[in-house]
Amino acid sequence: MQCQNKAIQLSYKRRFIMNKIYTRRLAVSSPTQKVVLTAEAFLAKYLNRETLLNFIDKGRIDDVEEFSAFFDLLKQGREYAFPRKKREDKGRNPYKYASFLGTGEGCKVMLIGNMENFILDYTRKLCTIDFTLEELIEQAEK
């Protein structure tokens, strides 16, 4: 009888914890206000001008092209599976791979500046963007 009561108590505790987790995830996935970032705001919050221009000038062409594709897909409003695993490429540069839902497309996103925080904020639907990489570069060059 005592074992059965402990099992019931654990069951209630587990249900309570799962409800808490569900409530938190629901709150994160449906924020009350989504911010649309301009290129200028993005540079101020996530990636400074010098870092971006240095990456464009000195980064591998393939990495820059993937970075550009990433911003193009985000501007279209595409969602991606949250890339949890941080990886390093052959040059020992950190990146995450974002797989876009329903498209079969994916992009290697170099973690320059605060890109990791941006990926998290975008995944949590706290922000969206209204620019491409080309427009971001133009803003950085001003």
Query: What is the per-residue pLDDT for 30?
Result: 52
Integer Cα distance of 80 and 36 in angstroms:
17
Q: How confident is the model at residue 142 (pLDDT cuts 50, 70, 90)?
A: confident
Query: What is the per-residue pLDDT for 96?
Result: 92
Does the global pTM surpass 0.95?
no
Query: What is the per-residue pLDDT for 63?
Result: 94
- pLDDT over threshold 70, residue 66: yes
Integer Cα distance of 122 and 137 in angstroms:
20
Q: Which helix (H) or strand (E) holds 95?
A: strand 94-100
